[in-house]
Amino acid sequence: MKIYTKTGDSGETSLFGGSRVWKDDLRIESYGTVDELNSVIGLAIEECEIVELKVHLVEIQADLFNLGADLASPLEDKNNSWVPRISDNECEKLETLIDELDSQLPELKNFILPGGSKFSAVIHIARTVCRRGERQVVKLERNGNINHIIVVYLNRLSDYLFVLARYYNHKQGKSENIWSPRKI
């Protein structure tokens, strides 16, 4: 099987179920951003020195792959019944992880700047890509019929990534970069 099909040379692509849309369609932008997020998390995994966190991130990557398939599969298309859909279960897993990590952190009293370690800096990039994806999915939901739990999952995931960056720095003995407003 060749990697190139030439079916997208006209600027269109296929969704699951076979319908064709322009490559700049908001649905494509949404799952393309989720794919970008998944790639950034892959980079973070390579920088992570805590095995348990790597395991969680690989599970999240699998969730994101399912989430992308969910976005690529219009709910109204009956041919897509086989597609895995994101559910409340995945959101609850994230909430449990957030609570576990956050319970081990000092209280947050200031805004913090991304950084502290290379892993945490990459996780903050993932968080911002996640937020962009969330904004795109919200816009998509307003214009079409999608699984609403996708919005909830991305919202929860960005919270998890924020707490994860703090947790990693804390466990590695790295200090947080506290934001301090400068007077002009």
**Cα–Cα distance measured from residue 157 to residue 150, given in angstroms and rounded to the nearest whole number:** 10
Cα-trace Rg, the chain: 18
Could you say which of 3.10.20.30, 3.40.570.10, 3.20.20.70, 1.20.1200.10 is the CATH number of the domain covering 23-105+113-173? 1.20.1200.10
**Cα–Cα distance measured from residue 157 to residue 149, given in angstroms and rounded to the nearest whole number:** 12
**Percent of the chain scored above 70 by pLDDT?**
89
6-64 pLDDT, tens per residue? Answer: 767 677 766 666 676 656 778 889 999 999 999 999 999 999 999 999 999 999 999 99
Q: Is the pLDDT of residue 102 over 60?
A: yes
- Using DSSP, state whether 16 is helix, strand or coil: coil
**Cα–Cα distance measured from residue 47 to residue 172, given in angstroms and rounded to the nearest whole number:** 13
Q: Is the pLDDT of residue 77 over 90?
A: no
Q: At 46, phi and psi to the nearest 5?
A: -70, -20
Q: Is the pLDDT of residue 173 over 70?
A: yes
Domain limits of the chain? 23-105+113-173
- Using DSSP, state whether 26 is helix, strand or coil: helix
- pLDDT band, very low/low/confident/very high, at 184 (cuts 50, 70, 90): low
Q: Which two tokens stand for residue 157?
A: 């995931």
Computed over every residue of the chain, the mean pLDDT equals: 89
Q: Is the pLDDT of residue 67 over 70?
A: yes
What is the reported pTM?
Answer: 0.89
